[in-house]
Chain A
Amino acid sequence: MIAQYLADGIILGSSIALGAVGLTLTYNILNFANFSHGSLLSWGAYFAWVVVVAFSGVQGGTFGPLSFGWPFVAALVFSGVMTALLALVVDWLVFRILRKSNIQVALVIASFGASLLLRNLIVLVFGPEPQYYSDNIQIAQQILPGVRVTPDQIFVVVLSIVLVVVLHLFLTRTKLGKAMRATADNAALAQVSGINIHAIVRWTWVVGASLAAVAGVFFGLTVQILPDMGFNLVLFLFSAAILGGIGSIYGAILGGLVIGIASDLSVLFFSPAYKPAIAFAIMILVLLVRPSGILGEKAR
């Protein structure tokens, strides 16, 4: 039983980790808690769903045991691009102007407002009912004694690992990635050394939002697509980012896994409805004991 919950936790943790990475990036570089990050996950899931529905007539077949084929891959890419665009538009319309006004916490209120706006736009456009990428029911297969997972779930975990490695290479090997880390460390110093801060802000949104889109699609693939999904996940994302230490990308990944596993293991003791409360309790504990998080550098 425990092994099964552990596996479920890793699958949920993959979505949370990808979402939390984007959150911790924007938190660190743009310096505000972006409550609308969860809505980017929801929009990502719906963008992909639009493509999947549009291709539903095409008999593309499916990849081996997976529940989807090429249209889904196209949907994933489309969703990443569109969600990045959406984040840039929201930034341009709202956050950019508030950054100028220099009232830092206005950004947080605005992000809270933006999250409600974005979520309700989904209800307006796509309706309140839950959606699925595929009507096929996948049979969970035994991969280890006592652990049954579906092929889709394995796909989610594997692709998450790939994305994390790519992100690591991007941040450590490319000029842009290094510039992003420099800006996060010290924006003024980065600017003096010739880094274009505005470009970095844009790229931060692009990276954060496209990771959020993938996280949303993964959650939609393994659970379901709902207008509220991002809002419900936002607590998990913040818990993961704080547990890992705000600004720490590897911390966010680790935090995501821990939060995912802990909330699925909690099902052994509490009703599954309490998963968000478990994530929240972990977060409060971290704030009490080690507010800088596991891998954070210092308390700010």
Chain B
Amino acid sequence: MTGLFSYLVFFLILALIYAIMALGLNLQWGYTGLFNIGVVGFFAVGAYTFAILAASPMAGQFGGFNWPFILAIAGALVMSGIIALLVGIPTLRLREDYLAIATIGIAASIQLIANNYGWLTGGPQGIYNIPQPLSNYFSSNLGYNLFFLAMMVVIVGVVYYGLERMVNAPWGRVLMAIREDETAASSVGKNGFSYRLQSFVIGAMLMGLSGALYASFIKYISPTLFMPVLTFQVWAMLIVGGSGSNLGAIVGSVLVWALWTGSGTLVQSILPPGLQVKGGAVQIILIGLVLMLVLLFRPRGIMGERKAIAAERARSKISTG
């Protein structure tokens, strides 16, 4: 029973870490219509920045500054914000797909840097011994995880509350106005580019926060943790939950993460040992199918906005398809 309980705690911590990423994506996509498919890149920047700042020194490697938890988190936020500016400034003035292409490019480039800049990132071996905050006050693993879960609930609560305040404030209404009809918004003096950039950077910083918390909880990071499939999972979380709804992003994160881990266990127990390598592929196909079905039959997700996202902006040349 304790085994199941501690697994549940572990599961919820990860689901809430991903929920922060989904909330960031919801600000970008759900409220602003920004199409970021390099989510994992900002997550990785947050994780690596946190690890480099917070870990203890290691031989032959840059970093290991032993910064306190809060400062290292702040560093991760700043760094992912800077990367978002670098991607956003050239692309946010152009048509929306260019941002998508640029974000997939930055995610791939960050993966390359993580793999090849050994002195900075530890290369394929990654960085280990990343400190967990306050871990020496706890004697049992479960006790500490319960503390971490409580911390995650507080953090997700704060992020949720902050985002709700922001999107219901005039700032958020401008975002949605720009998303729905940029010409109309600019006619009343709202600079679309500036608002989009703000939303993109804040969303990316949330993804960085998620990465930093992930690195701190798992204590070990390596490039294989930051594959494109993670971006896909976060998108599935947001779409299933319902984009345009912060609560939906959180609910979707828990649901999709449950589906992912559940299908993983199922695949492991069904497939013969020789085919285990292909288990990951089966999982991805499963999540892909769920995402496709939701897109096709319930495009607004479980708790999405009543109005279809960006329906009015559709500029499809072929409307009858």
Interface positions of A (Cβ within 8 A of B): 29-33, 35, 94-106, 108-110, 112-114, 116-117, 120-121, 123-124, 127-128, 187-188, 197, 201, 231, 234-235, 238-239, 242, 271, 273-274, 276-277, 280, 283-284, 287-288, 291, 299-300
Contacts and interface: CB of A to CB of B under 8 A. Distances in A.
21 contacts: A35-B37, A35-B100, A96-B321, A97-B296, A100-B321, A102-B316, A104-B315, A106-B299, A113-B291, A114-B288, A114-B292, A117-B284, A117-B285, A120-B280, A123-B281, A197-B320, A242-B101, A273-B112, A284-B90, A287-B102, A299-B95
Contact of B96 (A105, A235, A273): A105
Given A116-B288, A280-B109, 14 more contacts: A99-B321, A101-B296, A104-B314, A105-B310, A112-B37, A113-B292, A117-B284, A120-B281, A120-B288, A124-B281, A238-B101, A273-B115, A280-B102, A299-B94
A111 to B, nearest CB: 10
Interface of B: 33, 35, 37, 90-91, 93-98, 100-102, 104-106, 108-109, 112-113, 115-116, 228-229, 232, 235, 239, 277-278, 280-282, 284-285, 288-289, 291-292, 295-296, 299, 308-311, 313-321
Given A113-B291, A123-B278, A287-B91, A31 B315 contact: yes
B307 to A, nearest CB: 11
Contacts of B319: 99, 102
A271 B116 contact: yes
Contacts of A100: 320-321
Contacts of B278: 123-124, 127-128
Contacts of A273: 112, 115-116
B295 A287 contact: no
A192 to B, nearest CB: 13
B281 A103 contact: no
Main secondary structure on B side of the interface with A: helix
Contact of A117 (B33, B280, B288, B295): B288
A235 B105 contact: yes
Given A104-B315, A280-B106, A280-B109, A33 B296 contact: no
